[in-house]
Homo-oligomer: A and B are copies of this chain.
Amino acid sequence: MGKPLIFVTNDDGSKAKGFNLLIEALRPFGRIVAVVPSEGRSGMSQAFTMSAPLFLNKIRDEEDVQIYECSGTPVDCVKLTFDYMFTDEKPVLNISGINHGSNAAVNVLYSGTMGAAIEASFYKIPTVGLSLCSHDADADFEAAIAFTKKLVPAVLAMEHKDIFCLNVNIPVARPDQIKGYKVCRQTRGYWREVFEKRYDPRGREYFWLTGSFVNWEPQAEDTDEWALANGYIAVVPVCVDMTNYEQCPFVERLLERL
């Protein structure tokens, strides 16, 4: 035993720069077991695999760092870890990331990084999803790593909550340009897609999805998008109860009319 166990996962796979820098940053805090998808699985949300078997391969085996690849989704990685591998010992912390690309606003619903984080939080272990707002494979993670090294000991020292899952997004900036960190709410808005139509060599029509985020409240200073646009790290605690309590009375009246 000795050092505490830290579980790491992501949706970009074992070769991603953000993942490898995270592993190095976490080494001083404990023994790391990482289980990540064997290929990039961005945009996989909370998807899991029902109709295919899962393969699991150990790809790195050091005393304090063990890394596995799983053939499934980010959520499959988490389920296999907790319900198959971690039968004797539970981790003290789960971290998903560091993702290449923002998971602020409605991205929390689509993100494989956050899907895995939410899944890991169900085991009542403090969980942090980390994302850098750049899709660049060689992005500058220095500010993200600096914040991670401050956040991790604070989360490890905090009093344990029932389900605790943070969605942390870091703007693209040098560490000395970051203005600080803000607890935010998820920005309202959605993705508007543009489908690029092409024809395959056999004349069949197909579509590539490309889109952009439409912010419905760009002026709202309590939102994660505002924080990021203004140089702050955005920290949103995630709720796994999707009930719209405000709408319940309206729905009550609707059902009375049936």
Contact = CB atoms under 8 A, between A and B. Distances in A.
Interface of A: 40, 42-51, 53-56, 73, 75-76, 79-80, 83-84, 106, 108-110, 112, 115, 118, 122-123, 150-151, 154-155, 157-158, 161, 164-167, 181, 183-186, 188, 190-195, 198, 204-209, 211, 235-248, 250-252, 254-255, 257-258
The prevalent SS among residues of A at the interface is: mixed
Contacts of A193: 79-80, 83-84
Contacts of A184: 243
A252 B183 contact: yes
Given A83-B192, A84-B195, A181 B109 contact: no
Top 6 closest pairs, chain A to chain B, by CB: A239-B244, A45-B45, A45-B46, A237-B247, A237-B244, A122-B190
Contact of A194 (B40, B43, B83, B211): B83
20 contacts: A45-B47, A45-B75, A49-B209, A53-B206, A53-B207, A54-B208, A55-B205, A80-B207, A106-B240, A150-B258, A154-B254, A154-B255, A157-B257, A158-B254, A164-B247, A181-B258, A183-B248, A186-B241, A237-B244, A237-B247
